[in-house]
Amino acid sequence: YHQNQNRQRNYKYKKSNFKMIWNLVFSIIWTIIIIIGSAISGNTLDHVSILKIPHIDKIIHFIWYYVLYISWYSYFLKKNVRFIKIRYRLFLIITIICFGWVIELFQQYVFIKRSAELNDFIADSMGVIMAFTTYFYAYQSKLFGRFL
């Protein structure tokens, strides 16, 4: 009986540890994707664009930072249960918004053929805030909370 309980605990620990590592790897890869995507020249993207959707770049910024917040929050939540407290979430929000600002500064001063745009920064920030809001309510939900 005790061996069976130990096996179940070990299985749950390995499963939890795997999810945490997966969340970390995904978060790092997603951060790198944002950096690379922000460094690519806008002229290159104009030739690749299949659909001519107005403000598509703002939509992409929103989605990038929405996913970025959720991925890092999921990692920290699995790593540390205390992370559900509001001060930790606010710290993550501020950190990711500052990351977006630094990327915009890099676009202005470091990346070639790029320039900073206030509207990009606003889209980044809105993605983070929307992710915070929707993920918080989904996590608290009885319907969706068990999947997160």
Residue pLDDT, tens place only, 2-59 = 556 556 566 566 667 888 899 999 999 999 999 999 998 665 555 555 567 777 889 9
Q: Is the pTM of this model over 0.85?
A: no
Report helix, strand or coil for 2.
helix
The pLDDT of residue 107 is 92
Token pair 């945490």: residue = 20
* Better-predicted residue by pLDDT, 44 or 120: 120
Q: Long-range contacts: 140-147, Cβ < 8 Å, 24+? A: none
- Closest by Cα among 36, 55, 33, 32 to 44: 36
Half-sphere exposure of 26 (CA within 13 A, CB side): 17
